[in-house]
Structure 1
Amino acid sequence: MASDLSDLLAPELIVLGLQAASKKALFSQLGALVAPTLGVDARVVVDGLTAREKEGSTGFGHGVAIPHARIPGLPRTVLAVVRLAHPLDFGALDDAPVDVVAAMFSPPQAGAQHLKALARVARRLRDRALVAKLRGAGSPDAIYALLCDHGVRDAA
């Protein structure tokens, strides 16, 4: 199903209560978080996120951001979801600080696949009721269940 993100979301890459004082600090922590799972150097992740963010903010409103980067050596697109302990200024279009971050990483050659995955993630996170549930989720498993259709049925 198009709204199911289980093909992208890595359960070990869901973190609640992450402390970050700036976008730079957030990107450093994301690099450290995802590098072991992705099998890449954390610096490559940080540099990719930073370069993309310089093109324009990935904060798309209502407290949500989707920073993303193309990372050499990845076999597939992977999504990490972080709920920040304290909202962070992301330069979003609506000026709302961000507390829900869905970071997406794709192989450089992904092309249309990267854009389609990004659109799917954005579609899900545009749903304010879902984002409210993500903010209230008590565990990484609960967030996984909310973002993966089969998990929602199992959790009901």
Structure 2
Amino acid sequence: MHMRWMDFLAVEAVRPNLRAHDGESLLAELSELLAPGADVPREMLAGALCARERLGTTAMEGGVAIPHCRVEGVRRIVTCVGLHRGGLAFGEPEDGLVRIFVGVVAPPDTAGLHLNVLSRIAALLHAPPLRDALLATLTASEAHALLARAETALHPHPVEPPRRASLRG
């Protein structure tokens, strides 16, 4: 199976105008976007994202944050993207304002794949021109299409996930 971030991001899970006014309402809003695909209650997701964020902020340089968690009952990795036009103070004060939020929820047993998806997202959003272009999009489908094109440009050939070691010597 070829793994791409876009395999885990539905257009419906992209919100070009987040309304949140603080970290908690932001995580609740991302949970709303993740819940339909994750097929678990959004309160459960919000709680897990808040708990993970308390362990250490998921904000990165460049005004990007990738709140993520693993939740019992979730059957596959699901991601969402939210753009906050005004920017939100998220994480440590010196991290500055975050404008691009990517939520990720995974089943408890997918540690390797989960980290693979997180690193793909981080690598893609590391590019300032892409972040600027993303913040210039106005609709979910426009943002989704931009990310899909950028991922294909960065990784023209999908990577094979690591195979499980064979038991045969």
TM-score with structure 1 setting the length: 0.88
- SS at the partner of 2:90? coil
Q: CA deviation at 1:54?
A: 0.7
Alignment match, 1:55: 55
Whichever residue aligns with residue 6 of structure 1, its letter is M
Change (3 A) 1:151 1:118: closer
Spell out structure 1 runs of 4+ moving beyond 6 A: 150-153
Q: Calculate the aligned-residue CA RMSD, in Å.
A: 2.2
Give yes or no for contact 2:38–2:76 (8 Å, CA) kept in 1.
Answer: no
- SS at the partner of 1:18? coil
Spell out the pairing of 1:28-67 with structure 2 (5 A cutoff): 28-67=28-67
List gaps (5 residues or longer) in structure 1.
Answer: none
More deviation in 109-118 or 3-12? 3-12
| Corresponding position: 1:108 with 2:105 | no
Whichever residue aligns with residue 134 of structure 2, its letter is L
Q: CA deviation at 1:120?
A: 0.5
Change (3 A) 1:111 1:3: closer
Whichever residue aligns with residue 23 of structure 1, its letter is G
Spell out the pairing of 1:7-156 with structure 2 (5 A cutoff): 7-92=7-92, 95-149=95-149
Q: CA deviation at 1:4?
A: 4.7
Give yes or no for contact 1:15–1:81 (8 Å, CA) kept in 2.
Answer: yes
C-alpha distance in 1 between matches for 2:102 and 2:67: 7
Whichever residue aligns with residue 70 of structure 2, its letter is R
Deviations 1:99-119 (A, max 9, x none): 110111111110111111110
What is the aligned length? 152
List gaps (5 residues or longer) in structure 2.
Answer: 154-169
Give yes or no for contact 2:34–2:78 (8 Å, CA) kept in 1.
Answer: no
TM-score with structure 2 setting the length: 0.82
C-alpha distance in 2 between matches for 1:47 and 1:118: 20
C-alpha distance in 2 between matches for 1:38 and 1:17: 21
Whichever residue aligns with residue 123 of structure 2, its letter is R
Whichever residue aligns with residue 52 of structure 2, its letter is R
Q: CA deviation at 1:61?
A: 1.4
